[in-house]
Amino acid sequence: MFLQDFLEYLSVIKNRSKHTVLSYENDLNQFLEYCDRVYELSELSEINHLIIRSWIMEMKSKNISNASINRKISALKTFYKFLIRKEVVSKNPMAKVQTLKRSKRLPAFVPKSKMEYLVESDLIKSDFCELRDDLIVELLYITGIRRNELQNLKVQDVDKYRSEIKVIGKGNKERRCPVSTEFIQKLEVYLSAMSEEFGALEHDYIFVTNKGKEIYPKLIFNIVTKKLKAINACAKTSPHVLRHTFATHLSSNGAELNAVKELLGHASLAATQVYTHNSIERLQKEYKKAHPLGE
């Protein structure tokens, strides 16, 4: 099977992140497992578009979202382009496979009042983990960075004189995220507490586990979920909700869409446009309230 060659191509030639490569690997392994389980096929040349469509239908029957299915379809399309180039297969079955229509659901976000209550906590904490958890939630909200971007932050990525943090996003693209001087002060208190708690560490990661090891995605998820559930913020409680909240609050307060795009690290403006929903709703309310024929 040519899966490992493809994954190496993504990592080395295309310079995709570990997170992206792992996502491709999981999606493609699920597809290959389905072909073997249902059709007893292991040869890539024997797989046609009807088999791929049947896999899509099985996922639909399991209530997997169209967005998740489309991601898997995209992974397959990239994989088959690679196989065609390597002359492993002569025909591309993905040519007859279309992506599914995505429902235009508005992103979940935390109301401003609840978010302010969550981050306006005392600077002094008796427990190192409490200080870390508060800082994680605040940083996700004030920068809109992704969970894996937060996980990979190192001490040298912080420029306290410019009050900004260097972030490595998708495709290893670098961007600078501004933060407040107050946050820099909180960060310095946290780093000092971490030094007292663990002494000299073998790594430079900012956020660590209870034992001083590099923090991992599930722990970040658990920390954010616990904090958001404590204030009954919204139905969803993942770290990505804080990214949505960051963008929605910026947009509703008049930030230009291109500025929001740059801060989020989006490659396309289309991905950012969803965050204008709150501003449009606010304008509609003002129109209905103020215009004689608004109702």
Active site residues: 146, 170, 240, 243, 266, 275
Buried b (16+ CB within 10 A) or exposed e, 185-204: ebbeebeebbeebeeeeeee
How far is C-alpha 229 from the chain's CA centre? 20
- Count other Cβ atoms within 10 Å, centred on residue 239: 22
CA 97 to chain centre: 26
3-state secondary structure of 148: helix
Interatomic CA distance for residues 86 and 71, integer angstroms = 23
Closest CA to 251 of 219, 229, 275: 275
Contacts of 237 (CB under 8 A, 6+ apart): 224, 225, 228, 229
Do 185 and 211 form a contact (C-beta atoms < 8 A)? no
Angstrom distance (rounded) from CA 275 to CA 252: 8
Residues contacting residue 108 through CB under 8 Å, at least 6 positions apart:
234, 235, 236, 241, 244
